[in-house]
Structure 1
């Protein structure tokens, strides 16, 4: 049994490396391994020190953060896929030294840079140019080529401005001006994204590393099994619950798929679900974790900074759409189980909820504490710090979960290594933002999008959706939000959409790129576990996640779903009617309600569901009437068979 578990973990690790370049890092041992571990621990200690005693000036904090990150990236991620994963190539060692030294130039010469007020010397120009190249190369290694291509296109745009058509034309940017803007101001590489990475995001990733060490993931799976494992299609419902809970501490759809799917996909297949459906459930459930408060793949912190609202406002706005997303998957899974007559797992084979909470319920205390602190008005930094402390203390309440000194030190190391993907993605996103602010292309693209849509909101949303999905393909959560928020959101804002609705809209479609064919990394990873067809798995996942394609349109027209300028009664009514509406959409997607549903009934059910999701008394009444009529029709049809 132990051998089987070890093989399963090996296969999971290999699968994660295949679909998530961030996981494909070196495993170093011996003296060099200890040196790299020491660097990672020092990185975490620096972040903890500045969190406790106050961060440095913005550019200094971000420069030290980037210096540690770039050094570790080149030490841990080989330049070529066929290079050794157990030793460091001399070329990578050289790049690690250069990558760490270049940001420290900003620290060493900080006062001179301030006094020069943006004037770039020849040495600055050389150092800045190398720094930009180091960030792009680090991004290629950790994040992958899609984001690098986007960044390079923006750099090319900065130089090509005078030669472009009128709508995209600008006077052009000289190399020295671009380097100065991207590397020696806080509007480029050292901009808001890296600033958030160097404060909130790092601490929450460290928090997640300690939670993982306590065994919280197994706790979530056991809770989900005890709650839903016995029901119709139990393992699939377990997947939905466990993936949603894991989303509170994970920032990667693919990592969620591999972590939870290694257990749940085989269970679903054993029960009788088709390979593609089993993989689709896991992919959709795991991708939704990035939409689930409070962490939301760390993008919530960036969103709060970008739009200038308290972090808690972003969390509140995300709650109802996230619940609708998971409710839609749950309903689809239930109807599919009923259609196929799939039973759950016998209760005696499942963990008892009372015993699960008695043995490991204390592991949830850090999450409860963080939510309480955020609601109480504490900053995300303070909430994350207390979360880390409480996670360590809570784990000590029982011997089975207690972390020993070695695990505490390992947590410091895992936190530093875990932030590298976000760090370099944020730095690269800073290049994109820097070009946008330098050339004004953001407003040009927004104006062009509005003009293409004839100034009408619905076409603008459709074009924005397509843009966000394309830009989100193969790009991590934080990075795709930064890109879409910079390029696509301004078009919606220009048409008078509330800023939080516009940003949430592009965030949603950037995220579900992970399950949208043809580039559906989460679905491809799930198919690697299930053995199903990757494209069919992606299509199935997209059908199950139908709420993610519809709800953003609804909350743009009716921000009440985001709790924007709405009373508690309005929010409650909108949420309840939307949940009922999700059932109508589920019937349309699965084609079953007591018995097989005809094509016409599926269309009518889809329309009724949409009416209920759209807030409003008239649409709610019409939607309810439609679904009640379909209920009696389907019930009578089932009884007649």
Structure 2
């Protein structure tokens, strides 16, 4: 246990977290009280606008629409950043200098200008006055300075370059040139409308992200973070390399509610990294495991580092669809990381932590588990149908009955937990002597109630993400305040502090708001880049550049986009990272892919760029998460990053796979198909992991690694080999196809070939995909998608496209000519690929097992 104590004492983790998320300044006295007051006020404001209460009032005094709320949101964020983050390392840390007070007030007033002049701005859209221009010329540079202080130079520098491109496009090389825009046009687009700074990104931060970050902060203050870590260690700590496996699970659970991979590394790594070193991991490998697990937390629903809510707006699908599509790849990636840890433990012959003695035979434990599972199923069914009956009987008044039931459930679960020993939150506790998992699970099961409420509101009640997070946060607040009082009563221990709940609530709200300040600044600054993309043709230009460099090769194009995403994501927090890479690179895949025969769902494209943007947190030399892990582990940062990148290869391969095989995203698949896809994809991931780690049942020879990689590829993409035998599609003229009156099933993709005139007088060919929303004739489905067609004897031309329709989202435009359609061919079953793969896996396993037995 000395190792853990040494690590904990040698690193001031609180300062590390604070300097990363809340700024390095440590004010005191009246200045600190002002900062805390505004942070608490900001959290209160966000809770108020997310609640249903403003709509119950007759007055509009405390009611703001989404655009107005963005202005207040940014004003709070920029005010806190200037007070919390010093100008540079030489600036005073114990007090806020006068210049920072002036900058904070000026910047927040500039942000509030959009609110103050909201009605007047609406009457002069596109024609800003001198006052508008002056405020924007003050606000944008101050926003960039706030971003530099809180996020580093990378994001504001990129935004400044794009802004310069906006002004001086007419001086650029011919390939990327545009007409250029004047100050009045840029100001109007970036600061006065909702196309730039106050655009979708800041709107998502205001409406959704803040509530989820606050929910995570409150849940952590309630003690859920410590509970997740202890539960993970108790379940997995005794296995080979157990602390590392527990670190993966704990980071995954923490990542569910976290918006920052770096914060995840620092907070969970404080517990997990020393314990990994204790069982034999080197400092660099322990840090790398924590980095890989924490970055993976950003791809795990429901929060995904706030990117999930942005995808809703950018992709145009529901939040539940985003969660459904993102879940399977994230889960498979985590399973792969656990297997990496297992292989590392096997290679080094590591042992786990001392196993807690459990009463009862294995059969008794299995029976107890199954009995508990059946009880859980019964309770779930009772809750589902019981609440349905309550809503039918009580109608609008059912909210009071449901609230009472939830509170009673919390009290009952807390009472049950208080019958067990109190779970210590001491960082120096020997995690190898934890109680059995069942005991830990029961001692803090009430922590899962807010998560259950969140999921219930999202999945069953189909409430908005913001309102769902509001109800979950309200329940968490109630738990924080009442838990100390109820514990004192149930444990009959007067020594317990009973009045700490209110202070913990205030701390949680303040912490959540201060954590959000840099995220909000990131979304506002990234909004400048989005504004430039929407005002200029830079997106199409990037597509042309990538197509030229890739020579039209799909795989090379995806590799180029992946590298560009990693470069663009360097030094950026998760939210800004996704905004930048999706704004610049998603359209590249769509356009270049369509012109070369690759048509994939838009959600697959956005997840692709999101995954590779996050890889920048791992990849040296700028991998910030790797530097944070090295600070905790005492290892070398670059070496930690290199090992973490090697571990992250399993995550890097997934985006390529779901681009070519969207079934991994559970798109248009049944439940049984989804289960089969999960099993097959998990098997392929484990084989790929074994190949990259060079260890299966024994150390792999070179030919075994190559064969394992081939097997993994074949299982992931059986269609590649099937397509070599029979082409997946055959081309048919659209007019001929429509004459056949073909019946189309629901969910069938229609790959339609399109031609349109280009600027050089030639023709550009591309493919656009429509998904059949209902069963019917092909002609009816095509026209029902929003395409209004003009058909002559030889030509089918798009006359117009309904705004917001499926055809509009698929990229169809007026005056395009629909030339043909890809008709699916009947292909052999994928079983003909899986069977040889299984035989080869068995053969390699037998060879390695035999070799291991013969090795002395």
**Which TM-score applies when normalising by structure 1?**
0.96
1:517 paired with 2:620, answer yes
- Asked if residue 597 in structure 1 is aligned to residue 682 in structure 2, the reply is no
Deviates more, 1:593-602 or 1:7-16: 7-16
Task: State the partner residue of 2:846.
Answer: 632
The CA distance in 2 between the partners of 1:45 and 1:84, in whole Å, is 30
Matched, 1:303 2:311: yes
| 1:456 to partner: Cα distance | 2.8
Residue 61 of structure 1, aligned match among 69, 84, 88: 69
Structure 1 window deviating more from structure 2 (49-58 vs 297-306): it is 49-58
Within 5 Å, give how 1:381-530 maps onto structure 2: 381-395=466-480, 396-397=482-483, 399=487, 404-494=501-591, 495=593, 496-530=599-633
1:275·1:530 contact (CA, 8 Å) conserved in 2? yes
**Secondary structure of 1:290's aligned partner:** coil
**C-alpha RMSD of the superposition:** 2.0
Task: Please state if 1:361 is matched with 2:445.
Answer: yes
> Which sits farther off after the overlay, 252-261 or 395-404?
395-404
1:20-419 matches, cutoff 5 A: 20=20, 22-52=21-51, 53=54, 56-348=64-356, 349-376=433-460, 377-395=462-480, 396-397=482-483, 399=487, 404-419=501-516
Which digits, 9 at most, give the CA deviation of each residue in 1:421-453, with x for residues without a partner?
A: 110000001100111111121122123212322
1:583-618 CA distances to partner (integer Å, 9 max, x unpaired)?
212221222223221122112112212222236524
Per-residue deviation, 1:401: 10
CA drift of 1:409 comes to 2.1
Give how far 1:300 is off: 0.5
Separation (CA, whole Å) in 1 of partners of 2:718 and 2:95: 58
Higher-RCO chain (CA-CA 8 Å, sequence separation at least 6): 1
Superposition deviation, residue 24 in structure 1: 3.0
Q: Which runs of 5+ in 2 are unaligned?
A: 56-62, 357-432, 488-495, 594-598, 720-829
Distance 1:6 1:456, change over 3 A: closer
Contact 1:558 1:615 in 2 (8 A): no
Superposed displacement of residue 10, structure 1: 4.9
Name whichever structure is richer in helix by fraction. Answer: 1
Per the alignment, in what secondary structure is the counterpart of residue 176 of structure 2?
coil
Q: Are residues 7 and 624 of structure 1, via their aligned partners in 2, closer, same or farther at CA, if it must alter by over 3 Å?
A: closer
2:40/2:513 contact within 8 Å kept: yes
The CA deviation string for residues 13-32 of structure 1, in whole angstroms up to 9 with x for no partner, is: 344467x3x34332222222
Greater shift in the superposed pair: 415-424 or 89-98: 415-424
- 1:323-382: CA deviations, max 9, x gaps? 111111111110111111111111132332122122211112111221121112111011
Structure 1, gaps ≥5 residues long: none
Return the alpha-carbon distance in structure 1 between the equivalents of residues 343 and 11 of structure 2: 34
Distance in 2 of aligned mates of 1:254 and 1:615? 37
Q: Residues 28, 17 of structure 1: CA spacing in aligned structure 2 closer, same or farther, 3 A cutoff?
A: closer
Q: 1:9: Cα distance to partner?
A: 8.2
Contact 2:222 2:479 in 1 (8 A): no
Aligned equivalents of 1:137, 1:621: Cα separation in 2: 59
1:621 maps to 835
How big is the shift at 1:233? 0.7
Contact 2:7 2:632 in 1 (8 A): no
Moved more, 237-246 or 160-169: 160-169
SS, match of residue 311 in structure 2:
helix
The answer to whether the 8 A contact 2:8-2:270 is kept is no
2: distance between equivalents of 1:221 and 1:623? 38
In structure 2, do the counterparts of structure 1 residues 393 and 16 end up closer, same or farther at CA, with 3 Å as the change threshold?
A: closer
Tell me how far 1:229 sits from its aligned partner. Answer: 0.3
Residue pair 2:235, 2:437 contacting (<8 A) in 1 also: yes
Give 1:560 shift: 0.8
Q: Compared with structure 1, are the counterparts of its residues 144 and 595 closer, same or farther at alpha carbon in structure 2 (3 Å cutoff)?
A: same
Residues 622 and 447 of structure 1, relative CA distance in 2, 3 Å threshold: farther
Q: Deviations over 1:510-543 (max 9, x none)?
A: 1121111222111122122222222221121122
Alpha carbons of structure 1 residues 559 and 112: separation in structure 2 relative to 1, 3 Å: same
Alpha-carbon separation, structure 2, partners of 1:174 and 1:559: 43
